[in-house]
Structure 1
Amino acid sequence: MSVRVRPVDITLNKHWRRWLHLIGGSFFPILALFVPNTALLIPLAIVAGALTLLEIVRLKIPQLNQWMILHLGEALKPREQSQATGATYLLLASVIVFLFPDKYVAITSLLFLSIGDLMAKIIGEKYGHRVLFKKSIEGSFACLVSCLSIGILISRITPTISLPIAIIGAVSATIVELLPSPIDDNLTIPIISALMMTLSALYFG
């Protein structure tokens, strides 16, 4: 059974989602700069668990899903009407990366997503001409520059994220953003870049 969603201005809807991506994606990593990991992980895990449960119930019960599409259709991408939302993947990724030994790895990897991935989309749509793996090279370059800037900034805040580690994290986040994958990049970008930075930290000692 199809559900009619109120017509919306697609451009305004896209801008609204991007602001939500930036603010929502940056909230926990910025909060982590001022809050101990344990104090952050408990509420984060509760919120992620509750949203994941809601997603499971929503996708199992067509009537509930239809009601949510009808009332939240403006906030959902078309594919999210029949799949888990990017917000759910983001929260799950946040829980996972904050379980890593160094919280600054988690902070950096999540900012790679909230800022780097966003810049890739904005620059790619506006200036993208060269295409690779269905993504624009210009957008991926913007992602790399953004992630490198974040990494350099974090490396000045903490000695645990050295410049080589930050570069490896930024490059890995950019590669994950560029390569096609059936898994939502809200999940893959933070986890893979956090893993690469953690392994790099072990290598560099």
Structure 2
Amino acid sequence: MAVSGLLDRGVPPFPRYLLYIKGGILFLSVIVLILAAYSTSVQGDVPAEYSSGVPGYLIFLTLFTWITYGTSTAIETIAPHLYYRVVVLVVYALSVILWLTGWAWSASWASYTLSFNENYRVDNKGGSWSTFGSVMGACAGLGALTWAFTLFVFGLFCQTCLKSPGVSSVGNIELGGMQKHHQHHQHHQHHQHQQQTVYPAQQSYTTQSVYGIHPQRA
């Protein structure tokens, strides 16, 4: 069954360019982390009641991304026999959902803060709503690009796994083939043995027929 390819074990034959796409995801997440950390310092200059949880969420998301794609790539290279596809499927799907939430949330706050007028500006430490909104807009753009890459990786992962059986499936197929070959070999040997065996009555009758000797009737 094709779906078993997603639930099996073993690294499918991914195209080489997938590694570069994963590297792009990690690179973009580093930039998002820097911007999120900077927006946290900017957000400290605005009233607490208007603070946003987006920077903290983006920091968490970048760490999750490093663990997800870094660990999966390391296992592919170092220990492919420990590559459980169902686990990778779940974390890749979560990555797609989390990045979609991240860039949409960032875009929402960018639109919200940039719509304020100059009366909301805070210049105590050089920070302002407009600066925070600009940083959130950059995070939204980079996050949308990262989300597109994660979606592509997820789709390619599913497609490749469905076309390539894992270690367990291949082992079961080979074992079944060996069993069928052994059974066929045993049946062939048994059939040859039956053909070569001559029963005593048939042997006696054959011998008598050759030499023209016929049993006398009583």
**TM, length-normalised to structure 2:** 0.27
Bigger radius of gyration, 1 or 2? Answer: 2
**TM, length-normalised to structure 1:** 0.28
